[in-house]
Amino acid sequence: MKNLTRLILTATLFFLIFNGVNYGQNIGANNTAKYVTDGRYDWTVFIVADKDTLNKISYVQYTLHPTFNPPVRKGTNPGGPYPFSISANGWGEFTIGVKVIFKDRKFTSFDYQLKLFPKKSRFPKKSRR
């Protein structure tokens, strides 16, 4: 009886974690960022996936840092160079919660680290004199 209970709990947990989404494995996010002024950047976060997967997405819900108003935003436009994107302006990097909702009402969720500074130019080089 103990093993049967453990098996049922494991199967239930597996279902809850994966929610039946079998096409969510190749979905990610990326962002653009452009320095504007006074230490602030205009940035856009968007979804990266193959065309077939993008066609199955209904919308994407992004949960930003709580200092943004509103912190929860929805990306609904599948077209253009940045599918299901949202844009904002800010001064720091942070983790964005990403929830991709598919047309069949299933979803997948992951975290994405917003990047404002390209790795190569993150810190100015010291000049030698």
What's the pLDDT tens digit per position in 26-45?
899 999 999 999 999 999 99
Strands (E) across the chain are located at 28-37, 40-48, 57-63, 72-75, 86-90, 95-102, 107-113
pLDDT in tens, 61-91: 999 999 999 999 999 999 999 999 999 999 9
Q: Which CATH superfamily groups domain 22-118?
A: YEATS domain (2.60.40.1970)
Can you give the residue ranges of every domain in the chain?
Answer: 22-118
